Chains A and B, each alone.
Chain A
Amino acid sequence: MNVAATTLEAPPAPASRLSRIAWNWRHNPKLELWLAWYTIVIFFNIFGIVFFIMTRTQPPPKPWWGLPRIVQWFADNRHGLLLGFGIMFAVGAFVTASTALITYSIRRMSVSPAFAYSYLIIYSLAAVPGMLLTCIALVVGAMRPDRDPKLLGFLYDMGFLSFSGTMCGSAISTSATPGPRSSSPPAAS
């Protein structure tokens, strides 16, 4: 990997806020890491607003509700579900910035790169059943409030059952951390 020569002869950072943003864009050697980090902050703020406030899917509604209560839940949250999950369908994959940043951190550890690549693939894959399939099922439920209540019940179950079971990737990151340390960490490549 080549390192941009411009950073070696960077001028001093200016004082004003706007000029400093431009300076960082041009010269900050950790720009890519900061871009990924800020993407995480922005993404999870949007995620929190969508799941907790707009769609009321977190904390999840009750699994023991009968069909009339489920139909009512879809009716109460219809517009929030359609707009909120539309937002997730537009920006949902920016969650990979978080996965990539942790993958990069695991690459810097003194363990096999297999840990890092496993983490990257597991979490990229987990976003499909763990987030998007949930959103798809609930959006399909919300788009036709006059659908047969039995089918709305099926979509409700499908949405919330799909939401769980994506956290196995954390085992990869935690098992990577206690690896034996070398005196100089290997460069990620």
Chain B
Amino acid sequence: MLTVDRPRESVNGELLLLWALPVVAVFWFLSFLAFPGFVQPMSPALSADQVAAFYRDPDNLPRIRYSMIVFNWFGVALIPVLAMIAMQMRRMAHHTPILSYCFIGCIAGGPTLFCMADLYWLLAAFRPERDPALIQMFNDMAWVTFTSQVPFLVAQSIFLAFGVYLDRQAKPVFPRWVGHFNLLIAAALVPAAFTAMYQDGPLAWNGLLSFWAKNIAIGLWIVVMTAALAQVVHRQRGELGGAAR
């Protein structure tokens, strides 16, 4: 965590971590399109037999399995970017490292919960001949986990926003709009937490707020924060001089 002793070495290799993300994002996007339950999000109002038929469909089954396997391979690849944001939080003009500890505490939660949702989808698809009631239960667990598990994303956005607001120095690490942007993203994610209450409408897991607004907000956060981070990383390397690789 300590970056001040050897500042030049501390940024070595950051560009590799940073620019690996757009490559990984291609795999995320392709997996998202490959999973037949996302292109037209499945309704929670489907009966157990309809859910079982979705998994038994020979066109769907390989797409479900392969998309979730690829998600499991690459889902954790967001963590290096989050770790780099935590490193930048350590450079902010704070009195204590506590906001960066808060942020670090959130880093692994989102990808862990995402992997759990993948596991439930894979369980449902592993033996589609199982009792439809069981397939429906795994499908429910997958969708509820995937949709409602926003707590770490909400908290890390708010911790980062506070970090930006309290970074009171002549040349702050991130510009102030990054703080406003993170609060906006947190607000867009919150409705999805209540998805299990409804089986139709905007809060249902295939609804406008719980599916579209939430997932677009996550995608937008990744794009915008990667760009903002890239700017900061390049600026920091410029300030440190030529030794950084």
Closest 5 pairs (CB-CB, A-B): A96-B105, A93-B155, A89-B193, A100-B101, A86-B194
A70 CB-CB contact with B under 8 Å: no
A54 CB-CB contact with B under 8 Å: no
Cross-chain contact A128 with B196 (CB below 8 angstroms): no
A176 CB-CB contact with B under 8 Å: no
Cross-chain contact B148 with A120 (CB below 8 angstroms): no
A87 CB-CB contact with B under 8 Å: yes
Given contacts A4-B93, A31-B166, contact A83 B197 (CB under 8 A): yes
Contact with B along A146-174 (1 / 0, CB 8 A): 01100100110000000000000000000
Cross-chain contact B99 with A32 (CB below 8 angstroms): yes
Residues of B within 8 A of A (CB): 1-2, 4, 44, 90, 92-99, 101-102, 104-109, 112-113, 116, 133-134, 136-137, 140-141, 144-145, 148-152, 154-156, 159, 162, 166, 168-169, 190, 193-197, 199
In the complex, residue of chain B having the shortest beta-carbon distance to the beta carbon of A96 = B105
Q: Find B108's partner among A83, A124, A154 (CB 8 Å cutoff).
A: A124
Given contacts A128-B113, A132-B151, contact A123 B105 (CB under 8 A): yes
Contact with B along A1-41 (1 / 0, CB 8 A): 11111110000000000000000000001111101100000
Q: Provide the bound-state CA to CA distance between A142 and B96, in Å.
A: 42
User: Chain B contacts of A75 at CB under 8 A?
Assistant: none
In the complex, residue of chain B having the shortest beta-carbon distance to the beta carbon of A150 = B133
A-B contact pairs, 8 of them (CB 8 A): A2-B169, A4-B169, A30-B95, A32-B96, A83-B194, A94-B155, A124-B106, A127-B109
Q: Provide the bound-state CA to CA distance between A7 and B96, in Å.
A: 14
User: Chain B contacts of A175 at CB under 8 A?
Assistant: none
User: Chain A contacts of B195 at CB under 8 A?
Assistant: 86
Q: Find A151's partner among B99, B116, B133, B199 (CB 8 Å cutoff).
A: B133
Q: Say what secondary structure dominates the interface of chain A.
A: helix
Cross-chain contact B168 with A120 (CB below 8 angstroms): no
Cross-chain contact A36 with B150 (CB below 8 angstroms): no
Add 20 more A-B contacts to A89-B151, A92-B151 (CB < 8 A): A2-B169, A31-B166, A32-B96, A33-B98, A35-B162, A89-B149, A93-B151, A96-B102, A100-B102, A120-B105, A124-B108, A132-B113, A132-B149, A133-B116, A140-B137, A140-B140, A143-B140, A143-B199, A147-B133, A188-B96
Q: Provide the bound-state CA to CA distance between A189 and B99, in Å.
A: 12
User: Chain B contacts of A120 at CB under 8 A?
Assistant: 101, 104-105
Cross-chain contact B101 with A4 (CB below 8 angstroms): no
In the complex, residue of chain B having the shortest beta-carbon distance to the beta carbon of A123 = B105
Cross-chain contact B144 with A93 (CB below 8 angstroms): no
Q: Provide the bound-state CA to CA distance between A48 and B230, in Å.
A: 41
Q: Find B95's partner among A32, A101, A124 (CB 8 Å cutoff).
A: A32
In the complex, residue of chain A having the shortest beta-carbon distance to the beta carbon of B162 = A35
Cross-chain contact B154 with A93 (CB below 8 angstroms): yes
Q: Provide the bound-state CA to CA distance between A26 and B195, in Å.
A: 38
CB distance from A162 to the nearest CB of B (A): 11
- Which of B101, B159, B168 is the most central at the interface, judged by chain A CB atoms within 10 Å of its CB? B101
Given contacts A4-B93, A4-B168, A93-B154, contact A86 B105 (CB under 8 A): no
Q: Find B98's partner among A85, A101, A144 (CB 8 Å cutoff).
A: A101
User: Chain A contacts of B112 at CB under 8 A?
Assistant: 125, 128
A55 CB-CB contact with B under 8 Å: no
Contact with B along A95-111 (1 / 0, CB 8 A): 01101110110010000
Cross-chain contact A87 with B193 (CB below 8 angstroms): yes
In the complex, residue of chain B having the shortest beta-carbon distance to the beta carbon of A154 = B137
Q: Find B196's partner among A142, A155, A188 (CB 8 Å cutoff).
A: A142
User: Chain B contacts of A5 at CB under 8 A?
Assistant: 169
User: Chain B contacts of A103 at CB under 8 A?
Assistant: 101
CB distance from A41 to the nearest CB of B (A): 15
In the complex, residue of chain A having the shortest beta-carbon distance to the beta carbon of B117 = A136
User: Chain A contacts of B162 at CB under 8 A?
Assistant: 35
CB distance from A103 to the nearest CB of B (A): 5
